[in-house]
């Protein structure tokens, strides 16, 4: 009796469907690997940034601690002030002449038709130079005198001065426009002469 064998050809080419499925599988693994590497790179980058920030934070904390120590030392040194020292400081503060506040106030009091062109401090006197527009119905002196009166009447500005006086003026023509050049002198009070700031 003859034996029957089943012959299997192992060299037979794989089917088209299995090749497509294998290509899809390779593509999925490739995309997954790319995303994994990208995520890893981003995490490493963030980690290096955080290390840099930690260094900056540590540096700032050290500086804050150093400044706090300095403040504490200054506070402990400041406890030795006597009552007379404190009263002297109070007197100094009260008599102090604040240039910035006074000049700002003078600017707000200056009308639109007058411009300040120069300021000079000489021998306890503030010399104010400026120009003013002229008007047909008003005398040149009246324009300047009205401005001087405005400065005198304002307590915030005039309190720092003994007197504010008109010095003189001259009429000039610039590009066909008549203008008045003027000078005003404000003498600073004696107790403010050494304490202006």
> For residue 87, is it within any domain?
no
> For residue 10, is it within any domain?
no
- Residues 115, 121, 124, 127, CA torsion sign: negative
Element (H, E) at 147: helix 140-153
State how many domains the chain has: 2
> For residue 154, is it within any domain?
yes
CA distances from 155 to 69, 128, 161, 194, 197 (A): 44, 18, 10, 21, 19
Average pLDDT, 10 consecutive residues per value, the chain (197 residues): 63 69 89 92 84 78 87 71 66 60 80 84 84 82 85 82 84 81 84 48
Which of 180, 185, 184 has the alpha carbon at shortest distance from 139?
180
> Which CATH number characterizes residue 138's domain?
3.30.1360.100
- Select from 77, 107, 126 the last residue of a domain: 77
Rounded CA-CA distance 8/53 in Å is: 68
Rounded CA-CA distance 60/53 in Å is: 10
Structural domain that includes position 40: 16-77
70 and 120: one domain? no
Report if pTM > 0.85.
no
């Amino acid at each position: 009796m003859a034996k029957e064998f089943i012959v299997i050809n192992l060299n037979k080419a794989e089917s088209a469907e299995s090749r497509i499925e294998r290509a899809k599988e390779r593509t999925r693994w490739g995309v997954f690997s790319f995303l994994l590497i990208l995520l890893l790179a981003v995490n490493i980058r963030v980690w290096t940034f955080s290390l840099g920030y930690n260094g900056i934070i540590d540096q700032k904390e050290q500086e804050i601690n150093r400044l706090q120590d300095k403040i504490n030392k200054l506070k402990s040194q400041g406890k030795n002030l006597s009552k007379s020292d404190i009263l002297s400081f109070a007197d100094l503060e009260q008599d102090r002449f604040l240039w910035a506040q006074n000049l700002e106030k003078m600017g707000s009091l200056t009308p639109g038709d007058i411009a300040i062109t120069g300021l000079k401090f000489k021998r306890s006197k503030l010399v104010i130079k400026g120009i003013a527009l002229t008007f047909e119905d008003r005398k040149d002196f009246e324009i300047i005198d009205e401005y001087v009166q405005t400065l005198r009447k304002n307590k915030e500005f005039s309190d720092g001065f003994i007197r504010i006086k008109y010095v003189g003026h001259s009429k000039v023509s610039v590009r066909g426009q008549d203008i008045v050049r003027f000078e005003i002198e404000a003498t600073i009070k004696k107790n403010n002469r050494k304490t202006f700031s």
